């Protein structure tokens, strides 16, 4: 059996959204997108892989449960990794012929609009690349598993180029700046719902591409300008500009969902309350201090600088009260500052029902996938799951 390779990979949250595919099979996007990679110490996917002449079938386990290996996206990633290994002559033909075992888990809700597939496929492809000793960029292969997975291949802030070639060879991700460039940047993820989405991203994108006139305008007019402007704002550490573009792009994405036919919505009443809170808070401050963005789900990602975190958390605890106060804020260590009466009066917002926000994840911008060498593999020495789910 080969040595077991274990990798952790990050979630990324887009500030310029990817929505719609130019090519469904190759997962080539209709427009460029920009994202921040989040700290793997707080949220990550973890994957262990190995091959052996003793394995009779390719097998995969997700969160301890055995899944089918027949997924076209999974098959595409493995095929392209092996083709790359052949091209680079990184392993011999015998090694390439052995069956593979894959075990993967997330430490956050799967398929709830928290970029679980991005982290999962970036993790898988990075682990496979290390297993087959590939040296070249693998973001285009990660893209075949989940479009936004190509952005999770890098840390810091990342630009996914839509490309123009039919084969998707120029639809790759590049790093704008590393994680240390803007060290004050933080993120608060407000988990409103962690259930599986009613309309999957794949289905939603297809409906929007076929029916939304607003999507076509966005692709041609809005995204090219916003992408250029937000990349400059990131490089210049201009939070006000970054925040404005981030919120406008999130709003436009969700407007496209309603402009689709039939329409569909990912945000809830609680999501809209979060938006209202952010705008009123920024108005009180006299400038943007917090930026919201919502992916295809009800959960908010709030970008803000470190100096704002304790104040904003205090307001969140007031506006979205919880019955689990001991574990309401997860992730990085911090303390919420109780909201002052003056600020609460200026906000003029009433608290929501308890537990409308389930919990908050406090994190920061982090690095790309990394190999784990502390012995915490998900596969045992024989290449089988350490903690399988018994059904």
pLDDT tens profile 374-385: 989 999 999 999
pLDDT for position 112: 45
pLDDT (tens digit per residue) in 166-202: 999 999 999 999 999 999 999 999 999 867 778 988 9
The CATH number of whichever domain residue 59 belongs to comes to: 3.30.230.10
- Asked whether residue 155 is domain-assigned, the answer is yes
Query: Percentage of residues in the chain with pLDDT exceeding 90?
Result: 90
Same domain, 300 and 256: yes
Statement: residue 111 has pLDDT above 60: no
DSSP class of residue 145? H
pLDDT for position 115: 62
Phi, psi of 236 (to 5 degrees): -90, 0
pLDDT for position 390: 75
- State the Cα–Cα distance between residues 200 and 112, nearest whole angstrom: 9
Statement: residue 308 has pLDDT above 80: yes
Same domain, 346 and 209: yes
Same domain, 23 and 95: yes
- Asked whether residue 128 is domain-assigned, the answer is yes
Structural domains in the chain (count) = 2
**What residues form DSSP beta bridges with 157?**
36, 177
Higher pLDDT, 2 or 57: 57
Query: Percentage of residues in the chain with pLDDT exceeding 70?
Result: 98
- Asked whether residue 85 is domain-assigned, the answer is yes
- Asked whether residue 275 is domain-assigned, the answer is yes
pLDDT for position 113: 52
- Asked whether residue 372 is domain-assigned, the answer is no
- Asked whether residue 370 is domain-assigned, the answer is no
pLDDT (tens digit per residue) in 138-162: 999 999 999 999 999 999 999 999 9
Angle, CA 114 vertex, CA 110 and CA 115 arms, to 5°: 85
Strand locations in the chain (E): 5-10, 12-16, 21-23, 28-29, 33-37, 44-52, 59-62, 65-67, 99-106, 157-160, 173-177, 185-191, 290-294, 300-305, 329-331, 359-364, 370-371
Same domain, 172 and 189: no
Locate all alpha helices (DSSP H) within 108-200, ordered by sequence: 116-131, 139-145
pLDDT (tens digit per residue) in 200-225: 889 999 999 999 999 999 999 999 99
The CATH number of whichever domain residue 223 belongs to comes to: 3.30.70.890
The domain boundary residue, chosen from 119, 147, 178: 178
The domain boundary residue, chosen from 178, 205, 224: 178
Mean pLDDT value of segment 67-89: 96
- Asked whether residue 302 is domain-assigned, the answer is yes
Same domain, 74 and 100: yes
- Structural domain including 286 reads 185-364
What confidence tier does 355 reach under pLDDT thresholds 50, 70, 90? very high
What confidence tier does 238 reach under pLDDT thresholds 50, 70, 90? very high
């Amino acid at each position: 059996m080969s040595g077991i390779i274990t990798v952790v990979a990050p979630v990324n949250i887009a500030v310029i959204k990817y929505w719609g595919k130019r090519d469904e099979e190759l997962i080539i996007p209709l427009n460029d997108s920009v994202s921040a990679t989040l700290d793997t110490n707080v949220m990550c996917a973890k994957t262990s892989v190995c091959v052996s002449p003793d394995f009779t079938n390719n097998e995969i386990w997700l969160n301890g449960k055995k899944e089918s290996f027949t997924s076209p996206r999974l098959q595409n990633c493995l095929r392209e990794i092996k083709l790359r290994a052949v091209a680079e002559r990184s392993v011999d033909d015998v090694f390439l012929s052995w069956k593979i075992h894959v075990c993967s888990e997330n430490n956050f809700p799967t398929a709830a609009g928290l970029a679980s597939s991005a982290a999962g496929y970036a993790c898988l492809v990075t682990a496979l690349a290390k297993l087959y000793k590939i040296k070249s960029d693998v973001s285009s292969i990660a893209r075949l598993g989940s479009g936004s997975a190509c952005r999770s291949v890098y840390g810091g802030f990342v630009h996914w180029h839509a490309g123009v070639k039919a084969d998707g060879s120029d639809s790759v991700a590049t790093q704008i700046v590393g994680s240390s460039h803007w060290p004050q940047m933080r993120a608060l993820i407000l988990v409103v719902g962690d259930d599986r989405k009613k309309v999957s991203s794949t289905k939603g994108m297809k409906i929007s591409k076929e029916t939304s006139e607003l999507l076509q305008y966005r692709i041609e007019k809005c995204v090219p300008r916003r992408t250029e402007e937000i990349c400059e704002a990131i490089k210049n550490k201009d939070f006000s500009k970054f925040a404005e573009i981030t919120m406008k792009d999130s709003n436009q994405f969700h407007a496209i969902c309603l402009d689709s036919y039939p329409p569909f919505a990912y945000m809830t009443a609680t999501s809209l309350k979060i938006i209202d809170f952010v705008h009123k808070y920024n108005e009180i401050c006299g400038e943007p201090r917090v930026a919201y963005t919502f992916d295809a789900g009800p959960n908010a990602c709030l970008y803000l600088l470190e100096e704002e975190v304790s104040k904003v958390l205090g307001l969140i605890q007031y506006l979205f009260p919880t019955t689990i106060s001991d574990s309401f804020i997860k992730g990085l260590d911090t303390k919420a500052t109780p909201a002052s009466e003056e600020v609460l009066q200026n906000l003029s917002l009433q608290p929501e029902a308890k537990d409308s926000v389930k919990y908050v994840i406090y994190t920061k911008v982090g690095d790309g996938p990394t190999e784990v060498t502390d012995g915490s593999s998900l596969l045992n020495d024989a290449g089988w799951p350490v903690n399988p789910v018994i059904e």
